[in-house]
Structure 1
Amino acid sequence: MPGSANLGSFRVRIAHVTDFYLPRLGGIEMHIHDLAMRQQAVGHSVEVITSTPGPAEERTGGLRVHRLTETVAFPSMLHPAALRTSRLLLRDRAYDVIHVHAGLISPLAFTTIAAAGSAPTVVTMHSLISHLEPAFRILDTGFGWSSWPVVWTAVSNVAAEPLRRLVGTAPVFVLPNGIDVSAWQVAPKPRDPDEVVVVAVMRLAPRKRPRQLLRMLHRAHRALEPTFRLRAVVVGDGPQRRSLERYLRLHRMTEWVSLPGRLSRARIRSLFGRADLFVAPATLESFGIAALEARCAGLPVVARAEGGIREFVRDGDEGILAESDDGMVEAIVRLAADPAEREAIAAHNRAVPPPMAWPDVLQRTAAMYAIATNDVRPALTHNRFPAAG
């Protein structure tokens, strides 16, 4: 079988299949691009197959990207011809490993899994599907996807739990997103001791709860004045932007809350250097790459306890995990009013790296590919991060 040699030592042909990819911006898109580029850098032959329209070739490193659609209303809305094209690509290019990246609505991903046949296939679930379990069970009745011979993985234990309930006895391993820890380590810049800067980075869409974030900030602002001045920067763009701008005007928040839109990684790093804490309001966060980047920059993270952020933020150590929006408001006020606690958490975050650095994630990914190709069957527990082997 192709790829039966040790994946860490030989050149392997890898296909990453995803409904969501650049130039669309988000955690899934950036992670897949970064993973593919790093695999290519160590000598593997890596290609991306996607339904997201955009340039045919990535500029950085010459990564080959197969675009199955030229223009669509949404990346997940596919013409049947595009699905047929993906099946032909998988057949004709004879990849050693097919790595499928799935989300809540991923027709390309699930069509690819069904079409992969005997090809070694690893599937990574990037979303929380607990609220859609009934729909996935209905799909399983018709297509039997839970019994497909693939290696199942998810980006966090939180994301893995509902998938484990759906696939029965098949193991579901945790394969987290990766991060370049050193790239996100930033030196804090001088700041006004009476001003507290809160930053959030997210897609301005209902699932990320940006409107709820503004409500929390409004309440925290009222609780802190006049002792501390609160300033907030919410980075990102999306369908709720105009609604959020109206909310800021209505509640007279425009002087201290800004919506700068999408920013480059360099500008986000610079912003982290001027910020005091990071807030992540989403309750359906499978991982939280922006929060991980902020944690590497040293920022205390305030987040909801339900999501995947708890994989790298422990309550009281790297930040505060709250059980409710009221709890998040209390956490923001608490950290804003206590610079000593903020600095203690920041010092810890700068000194202790998270367990998702790229070298470790690449090894874990290779371990999943090895299982898929029947090359190596390391002793892995699917309830924790797998050891590479």
Structure 2
Amino acid sequence: MKICLISDFFYPNFGGVECHIYNLAQNLYKRGHKVIIVTHCYDDRVGVRYLRPFIKVYYIPFYMLIRLVILPNFFISLPILRHIFIREQIEIVHGHAAFSTFALDALLSAKMMGLRTVFTDHSLFGFNDFGAIMTNKMLEFALGDIDGVICVSHTSKENTVLRARISPSKVRVIPNAIDTSLFVPTDTPPSSRDEIVIVVMSRLVYRKGIDLLSGIIPEMCAADKRVKFLIGGDGPKRLMLEELREQHRLHERVVLLGNVEQSRVRDVLIQGHIFLNTSLTEAFCMAIVEAVSCGLPVVSTAVGGIVEVFPADFVCLAEETTTESLTKGLLQTISRIDAGEVPAPQELHRQVKNMYSWADVTRRTEQVYKECSSRPSLAERMSVQKSRGPVAGVLYCICYAISYLLLAITTFLQPECTIETVPYIYEGGRREDGRSNALGRSLSEQLKYSDLSGSDHKKSL
């Protein structure tokens, strides 16, 4: 299959969605599929780049409006996306993240071209604030006749079905995964006799419960003199933690690391005894999976899809989303550590390795691709959108009509036969013309068929 993964969120930015897209692309490639990634530009990163193992990334010159997201520009992006889909002979377009306007635009463009479409929702959203209402309306419009939807937890599935008003039969639950080879516990775990290190790895924003954390820190430091906090991450709530540390004179016991590169996350985790997650909303929470893989017991809020990630032996879930409940959970976990009741780090790592793997996620995602075969006509699509409501339905149909008109004009001005397609070099170890890809000449073959020239080769490779 020839697959396009698309989202506003991708490298050089780092986060859960970005890591998911990259790992999924890698594993789809290993299974013999052609994979490209499309995102918007980041500063001077514009044009075509390549990521190992030879995955092409299109950085389209659309600039960010707010929080890494571009302004919705469906009518502008349609000709560009059409050109890429035809050029790369794309069969399946897979959008990621409900907040990604670029992904939602691409799904609508792909559907008009008769391509199969899949969407993965990575987050939970509400229903009663202006931002959530606008996002939900866009999601409802984009997913009205989509072929398949993937959610990372059953809680996320319920949330997406309600927000987008789609049939639950279209939605599959496929959890996230991590590369467990990168999150391995140390052979000599730190001793808990002199100090208990509580690790927090999170963006320092309201949604991650940093207000709760600011209440937990002084209580835990007063309850146990061994407790020390190691906090990785940055954000607008960092100033609150700095003021708290100054007010309670906890400079020796609260360490703020700032932004931590992905390659250094494991080095921070293995310094701790307990991982603390204070999120107020989560669809899955990759952070606790990484922590358990490194051998740390977890204390967490019981919100969203967190309750589905691990059994009770692995995670101590707070009874309520309060400072008191989380503090109680931390004290209980420290007591278990002192009593030697916590599973060995290597055993926790082995369990995570068996539970979550990218090979399994890729295989299940591949099955969703195979099940996507619907080809609704324009009349059927308009009928679905019209049923969305007396006002929204009419607006959706008008947008559809304008989009189809734009597609017809674009096709007339640039017929498909005038767009040069890119030969796919790697396909089961052989080129499309049947010749083998000998390792010694593969790079020259790649350059020969690349759409880059001159100095751009150096940038991309």
- The match for 1:38 among 15, 20, 27 is 27
Matched, 1:293 2:286: no
Q: Which residue of 2 aligns with 1:335?
A: 333
Any gaps of 5 or more consecutive residues in structure 2?
Answer: 375-461
Q: Please state if 1:116 is matched with 2:110.
A: yes
Deviations 1:127-158 (A, max 9, x none): 11244675456447xx6444313201111112
Partner AA of 1:90 in structure 2: F
Letter in 2 for 1:42: R
Aligned-partner residue type, residue 67 of structure 1: Y
Which of 198-207 and 72-81 deviates more? 72-81
In the alignment, which of 9, 12, 23 is matched to residue 20 of structure 1? 9
SS in 1 for 2:222: helix
What is the one-letter code of the residue matched to 2:69?
A: S
Unaligned runs of 5+ residues in structure 1 are: 1-11, 375-389
Counterpart of 2:83?
88
Deviation at 1:177? Answer: 1.5
Structure with greater helix percent: 2
Pair 1:125-2:124 in alignment: no
Matched residue type, 1:50: T
SS across alignment from 2:270: helix
Q: Residue type matched to 1:38 in 2?
A: N
TM-score w.r.t. the length of structure 2 is: 0.71
Shift of 1:112: 1.4
Amino acid at match of 2:197: V
- Change in Cα spacing, 1:109 to 1:59, as seen in structure 2 (3 Å) is closer
Residue 70 of structure 2 aligns to a residue whose secondary structure is coil
Alignment of 1:1-389 (within 5 A): 12-53=1-42, 55=45, 56-69=48-61, 71-74=63-66, 75-78=68-71, 80=73, 81-82=76-77, 84-103=79-98, 105-117=99-111, 118-131=114-127, 134-135=133-134, 138-139=137-138, 144-165=141-162, 166-187=165-186, 188-225=188-225, 229-315=226-312, 317-322=313-318, 323-325=320-322, 326-339=324-337, 340=339, 343-344=342-343, 346=345, 348-353=347-352, 355-373=355-373
Read off the aligned partner of 1:180 and give its amino acid letter.
D
Q: Do the aligned residues in 2 keep the contact of 1:335 with 1:342 (CA within 8 Å)?
A: no
Deviations 1:327-367 (A, max 9, x none): 11111121123313563374652342352211111111111
The Cα shift of 1:61 comes to 2.9
Residue identity opposite 2:104 in structure 1 = F
Two-structure CA RMSD over aligned residues (Å): 2.5
Q: 1:169, 1:59 → 2: CA distance? A: 35
When Rg is computed on C-alpha atoms for both structures, the one with the higher figure is 2
Q: Name the CA distance, whole Å, in 1 between partners of 2:306 and 2:189.
A: 26
3-state SS in 2 of match to 1:258: strand
8 Å Cα contact 2:72/2:105 also seen in 1? no
2:212 partner amino acid: Q
- What residue in structure 2 maps to residue 383 of structure 1? none
The number of residue pairs the alignment matches comes to 356
**In structure 2, how many angstroms separate the alpha carbons of the residues matched to 1:247 and 1:52?**
38
Paired residue type of 1:76: V
Q: Distance in 2 between matches of 1:35 and 1:86?
A: 21
Q: Is residue 87–residue 112 contact of structure 1 (8 Å, CA) maintained in 2?
A: no
Q: Using a 3 Å threshold, how does the CA distance of structure 1 residues 70 and 219 change in structure 2: closer, same or farther?
A: same
